[in-house]
Amino acid sequence: MIMDGPGRIGPYEIHAIETGSFALDGGAMFGIVPKPVWEKTNPADALNRIEMRLRCLLLIDRAAKRVLLVDNGIGTKWAEKFMQMYRIDHSQWALDRELARVGLTPDDVTDVIATHLHFDHMGGTTRRVNGELVPTFPKARVWVQEQNWNLAYHPNEKDRASYLQENFDLYRGNPKLELLQTEYGRSDEIAPGIRVRVSNGHTPGLQLVEVADSGSALIYCADAVPTATHVRTPWVMGYDCFPLTMMEEKKKLLGEAEERGAILFFEHCPRMQAATVFHDGKDFSIKQAYQFR
Ligand SMILES: [Zn+2]
């Protein structure tokens, strides 16, 4: 049974923005876990790819006229070959249609919070109009951890293919770029009730985003816990730069989420948008799934 998540936390309306779907190699998504185990929850297609969502979090404070979008999907500017390799599909969900559903356009977005600059998270930052690259959200400030920003220009060989400059180079030297230097193990408040913290296991300088008030807390996990299936500790992605770091960070995050009853928001999960977790004695499990509209 999936429950409705809180419609509001603090001054913010909470919306899940489904910007589309794509597909990644199931083996890469689940690292050392054998296929007979992962395919029960995440069936593969003929090319061994599993369904992935491109789910963003939208926080609207209508009184303060602030509209914050956490990540923005994979975007629409890709060549056919790339679209096919990643089975990118915007037929069912698309960023503009989802924003329209809550009465907004990309022009209304005041803040884009980039968890990290991988293409399936920040591909929607720019689009092509008459062949020219333009910002999708012309009025928005873009918040990135400085560590991740610098890394995107000097990536390691392992995740180089995920940092595509056409998604962010438009912001180099741009006054709308807000580079954060959040200390590891601490958090920074970037809007009332909205805090970011750093996780380095997937890629250095990734930031998790938390919105909380006295009653509820919601944590956008990005690629630290990309799907509900990844709540189990050794289920870390082959894509992760530092899998052991990722496991330690994840245990800490999920332990904290259990203690606080915080809802974890899953960016890529095809099965559920969000959930609380508990430790079942062996490892973490899903306690209650939530959906947002
Ligand atoms: Zn990533």
Q: What value does the mean pLDDT take over residues 142-163?
A: 94
Ligand 1 centroid–CA 131 distance in Å is 27
Listed in sequence order, the residues at least 6 apart from 115 whose beta carbon sits closer than 8 Å to its beta carbon are 70, 71, 121, 206, 207, 208, 209, 220, 222, 223, 267
Ligand 1 centroid–CA 235 distance in Å is 15
Ligand 1 centroid–CA 63 distance in Å is 33
pLDDT score recorded for residue 76: 95
Residue 107 binned pLDDT confidence (cut-offs 50, 70, 90): very high
Phi-psi region of 270 (alpha: psi -120 to 50; beta: other; left: phi over 0): alpha
Ligand 1 centroid–CA 121 distance in Å is 7
Ligand 1 centroid–CA 214 distance in Å is 31
Number of helices and strands (H, E) in the chain? 7, 17
Ligand 1 centroid–CA 41 distance in Å is 21
Ligand 1 centroid–CA 280 distance in Å is 28
Residue 158 binned pLDDT confidence (cut-offs 50, 70, 90): confident
SS3 199: strand
User: Tokens 């030297």 map to which residue?
Assistant: 173
Number of domains in the chain: 1
Ligand 1 centroid–CA 143 distance in Å is 16
pLDDT score recorded for residue 194: 98
Ligand 1 centroid–CA 62 distance in Å is 31
Domain of residue 28: give its range. 3-291
Q: What value does the mean pLDDT take over residues 268-283?
A: 97
Q: What value does the mean pLDDT take over residues 40-55?
A: 98
Ligand 1 centroid–CA 173 distance in Å is 24
Inform me whether the pLDDT recorded for 235 exceeds 90.
Answer: yes
* CA–CA separation, 70 and 82 (whole Å): 24
Ligand 1 centroid–CA 190 distance in Å is 22
pLDDT score recorded for residue 114: 98
SS3 172: coil
Computed over every residue of the chain, the mean pLDDT equals 97
CATH of the domain at 98: 3.60.15.10
